[in-house]
Amino acid sequence: MPPNNTGLTSTWIFESLLFGGYLITKRDGVIDGMYFCVYPESGNITCPSGLEQPVKINSNYAYTVLPNNTLLIAQIEYNNTWRLHVIDLPKQTERGNGYFNTNIKSTYPEIHSSINSDITNISIDFYKPVTLSSDVDGKILIYQKIGQKIILRQKTFATQCKLDNDDTRVIIDILNSTFSKSGGIYFVKIENNFVKDRNYREPLLGVKENNWSFTIEDKKMTYTFTSSTTGLFRLTEKGTEYCEGLSDDKQNKFFDELLDELADAVQILRNRLSKYKNYQIDPNSNKSKQKKFLISIKIEETKNEYEKDVDTVIKDISYMMSNNNQTPIGNHQLAYLDSNYGFNPAPDYWQEYKFKLLGILLILIALIVLFILASIREKKGQNIAIFKFALFIFDFIADILFLTNNADDVRELYIPSIIFFTIPIVFNTIFAFLIIIKENKKSEFSHWFMENSKFASIFTILAGVDVEILGILESNIAGFKVFQAPLSDSVRKKIFWGAFSNLFIEDIPQLIIQICYRISVITYEIIPILSLTSSSINLIINIVGRLYQAIIYVRKRRLQPLSIIERDDELIKDTK
């Protein structure tokens, strides 16, 4: 409160005036009137001439002071008409310089000036020392004006600024994203209470919209061409809850508005942004029981060298998200984006998984070498079984990794994934043990089994992956005796029908699950890719193998009139 205020009671209300001094008011409830006086900093109270005090005013006690220091007082309404008292209040100073704020001496950049887009800070010089406000409403905002459209570029709180020049200058750092595109009209708005008088600790008035305006020079920056890409945003928990509660039409409107704001934030054309129709729950948030949606956004390339390229747009988005408390991404719909997650461009599978892919390639090369060596040692052996065995194990490992890492990404597929992973294992394991137990009753096989019991036991267990693995025991790979099991024709027939059953309880259901997963998710990692690949190859080989065996079966039956059992036995032999 200014000095020399003796004689004033606590019922008077003080309001700062733009051109110095204070408007002091006091209600008179007896006659529905109000006192209006001017209290200059010199301390000599004056009341506007021509006003009968207390001034009669409407029941809402409505009045306001215009930026040019004009006082408007609403009078009592009569017969649906209303009138205003218009009083020019005396100006205590001619300061203002276009800011309509007598506390401000100058600014950088100056009003209506033209500056370069690479400036790193702006500043405000005050006539008197000030302190930075610690209140949440003490902030300064920078806007871009495009026609009638006003876009927020930067929001900085007073606590994020610096004082200089004996506390008469406030320096505001400019973010890289604020003037990231050359050209355009900007203005700075200073909220009331951005700074306070250092002596009196009184909040000072700010600067309203469009007063402190300037132009960024248009240098026609050129950008390097980069191709289109997609990337992921994650909604906050609050954003996910809000989005989930919307109807389909309102969800579409929400995402359209979000992309509108994002295009304005990064200063590109709106048609360069599009959203993938689906969204999914982030697996990591699902595990922490804080459900958050992932959304996929595509950034289209541009052929215009003066428009931001895709890489620059990604850098701007990432930068603004890391400074979301000062950038447009922290406001309106964009505030629902999770800044901790950021923007994750679609992965380069080679760069991200090259060592794993190289490992798979080395394993494949090793299998080829083993096949060649086995063929050299024993040309008549079914050495191709090396690849068959590797494919079974690879498919099994891929299924386990998918089930443990990815299946719960789509909740509807999680239970089916468990079912069609477990049932085939149980079926194949039981079937394999029954086959071996029954075959052990035959002396020739029992003799081989006793000599190779450990090896046979391992393959029996592995047959839980696919019962066809038992057939490898008689493949004669590289001429090794352990692969010369004397399996009977009935065992071959059982293995055939067991493998045929796997088509319906494993191969086809798992491929359908993989396809549904691919359709449902927006993030597709290496494990689902490998699982889909192995499932597809396994199914194709199984179908082709069964068709081939059926053709052989029909041909043999036509050429040779055998009994049903004999024809089945010949069918199995021909498939070997």
Tens digits of residue pLDDT in 374-403: 999 988 888 999 999 999 999 999 999 999
In eight-state DSSP terms, residue 522 is S
Let me know whether 435 and 514 are in one domain: yes
For residue 556, is pLDDT > 90?
A: no
Amino acid sitting at position 173: D
Query: Among 99-103, 185-189, 425-429, which is the least confidently predicted range?
Result: 99-103
Contact (Cβ atoms closer than 8 angstroms) between residue 52 and residue 72: no
Residue 57 lies in a domain: yes
Lowest mean pLDDT of 20-34, 291-305, 370-384, 480-494, name the range.
20-34
Q: Which pLDDT value is given to residue 571?
A: 46
The verdict on 201 and 253 lying in the same domain is no
Other beta carbons less than 10 A from residue 441's beta carbon: 8
Strands (E), 29-148: 33-39, 55-56, 63-65, 70-74, 84-88, 104-108, 113-115, 121-126, 130-132, 139-146
pLDDT for 40 equals 84
pLDDT digits (tens, 9 = 90+) for 32-64: 788 898 888 777 888 887 778 888 888 888 999
Domain count, the chain: 4
Q: Calculate mean pLDDT across residues 470-499.
A: 90
- The answer to whether position 418 is within a domain reads yes
Domain containing 173 — which CATH number?
2.60.40.1220
Between 193-202, 347-356, 496-505, the lowest mean confidence (pLDDT) is in 347-356
300 Cα distance to chain centroid: 17
Residues 371 and 332 in one domain: no
Count other C-beta atoms under 10 Å from residue 574's C-beta: 14
Coil, strand or helix at 459: helix
Cβ neighbours for 80, distance < 8 A, ≥ 6 positions apart: none
- Examine the pLDDT at 361 and tell me if it is beyond 80: yes
- Is pLDDT of 9 > 60? no
**Same structural domain, 380 and 476:** yes
Q: Is residue 6 part of a domain?
A: no
**Close Cβ partners of 83 (under 8 Å, ≥ 6 residues apart):** 75
pLDDT score for 287:
56
Q: What is the mean pLDDT of the chain?
A: 86
Do 76 and 205 fall into the same domain?
no
pLDDT for 10 equals 54
Identity of the amino acid at 37: C
* pLDDT higher at 349 or 69: 69
424 and 320, same structural domain? no
Position 202 confidence tier, pLDDT thresholds 50, 70, 90: confident
Cα(233)–Cα(256) distance, integer angstroms = 14
Residue 2 in domain: no
Give the mean model confidence (pLDDT) for residues 458-475: 92
Q: Is the predicted pLDDT of residue 6 greater than 50, yes or no?
A: no
Q: What SS3 state is found at 393?
A: helix
Residue-wise pLDDT for 258-274, tens only, equals 999 999 999 899 999 99
194 φ, ψ (degrees, to nearest 5): -65, -40
- 235-262 in b/e form (b: 16+ CB < 10 A) is bbbebbeebeeeeeeeeeebbeebbebb
Among residues of the chain, what percentage have pLDDT more than 70?
93
- As a whole number of angstroms, the distance between CA 321 and CA 331 comes to 11
**Residue 379, domain member (yes or no):** yes
Instruction: Give per-residue burial for 334-367: e unless 16+ CB within 10 Å, then b.
Output: bebbbbebbbebeeeeeeebeeeeeeeeeeeeee
* Average of per-residue pLDDT across 176-183: 85
Residue 465 has pLDDT above 70, yes or no: yes
Residue 99 lies in a domain: no
- Do residues 385 and 391 make contact, with C-beta atoms less than 8 angstroms apart? no
Per the structure, the complete domain to which residue 207 belongs is given by: 104-216
- 372 with 498, same domain? yes
Is pTM beyond 0.85? Reply is no
**How do residues 523-550 score in pLDDT, each as one tens digit?**
777 888 889 998 899 888 888 877 887 7
Q: How many CB atoms lie within 10 A of CB 102?
A: 22
> Of 101-105, 279-283, 397-401, 470-474, which gets the smallest average pLDDT?
279-283
d(CA 370, CA 362): 12
Whether residues 260 and 318 fall in one domain: yes
d(CA 272, CA 295): 16
Residues 537 and 418 occupy one common structural domain: yes
Q: What is the DSSP string of 232-265?
A: EEEB-HHHHHHHHTS-HHHHHHHHHHHHHHHHHH
Residues 6 or more apart whose Cβ sits within 8 Å of residue 434: none
pLDDT confidence of 559, banded at 50, 70, 90? low
How many helices and strands, by DSSP H and E, does the chain display? 13, 22
Q: How many CB atoms lie within 10 A of CB 121?
A: 11
Residue type at 84? L
User: For residue 286, what pLDDT is reported?
Assistant: 59
| Displacement of CA 513 from its chain's centroid (Å) | 25
Residues 341 and 360 in one domain: no
Query: Token digits for 306?
Result: 């003066």
Query: Domain boundary at 314, 345, 376, which?
Result: 345
Helix (H, G, I), strand (E, B) or coil at 317: helix
Helices marked H in 440-507 — which ranges? 443-451, 453-462, 489-502
Distance CA 432, CA 419 (A): 20
- Token pair listed for 323: 């400074």
pLDDT tens digit sequence for 221-235: 788 888 888 888 999
The Cα–Cα gap between 235 and 295 comes to: 8
Cβ proximity of 472 and 388 under 8 Å: yes
Together in a domain, 130 and 191: yes
Residue 533: Cβ within 10 Å count: 14
Angstrom distance (rounded) from CA 406 to CA 313: 30
Q: How many CA atoms lie within 13 Å of 187's alpha carbon, on the beta-carbon side?
A: 17
Q: Quick check: is 330 in a domain?
A: yes
Return left, alpha or beta for 69; rule: phi > 0 is left, psi -120 to 50 is alpha, else beta: left
pLDDT tens sequence across 279-333: 788 877 755 567 888 898 999 999 888 889 999 999 999 999 999 889 998 888 8
Last residue within a domain, chosen from 61, 88, 115: 88
Contact between residue 45 and residue 82 where contact means Cβ atoms under 8 Å apart:
no
Nearest Cα to Cα of residue 141 among 77, 86, 81, 210:
210
Q: How far apart are CA 73 and CA 83, in angstroms?
A: 8
The answer as to whether 98 is a domain residue is no
Helical H runs in 274-348?
Answer: 283-287, 310-322
Asked whether residue 132 carries a pLDDT value surpassing 60, the answer given is: yes
Per the document, the length of the chain is 576
pLDDT band (50, 70, 90) for residue 561: low
Instruction: Inform me whether the pLDDT recorded for 404 exceeds 60.
Output: yes
The whole-number pLDDT of residue 15 equals: 86
Instruction: For residues 64 and 409, give the distance between their C-alpha atoms in angstroms, rounded to a whole number.
Output: 58
**Residue 464 and residue 441 in one domain:** yes
DSSP state, residue 91: P
For 139-177, the pLDDT digits (tens) are: 999 999 988 889 999 999 999 999 999 999 999 999 998
With a pLDDT cut of 90, the percent of the chain lying above it is 42
Range 335-352 average pLDDT? 82
Q: Where does a domain end: 170, 191, 216?
A: 216
At residue 61, the pLDDT reads: 87
Q: Is 558 exposed, middle or buried, given 0-12, 13-18 or 19+ CB atoms closer than 10 A? A: exposed
Q: Of 40-49, 66-75, 256-265, 344-353, give the range with the top mean pLDDT.
A: 256-265
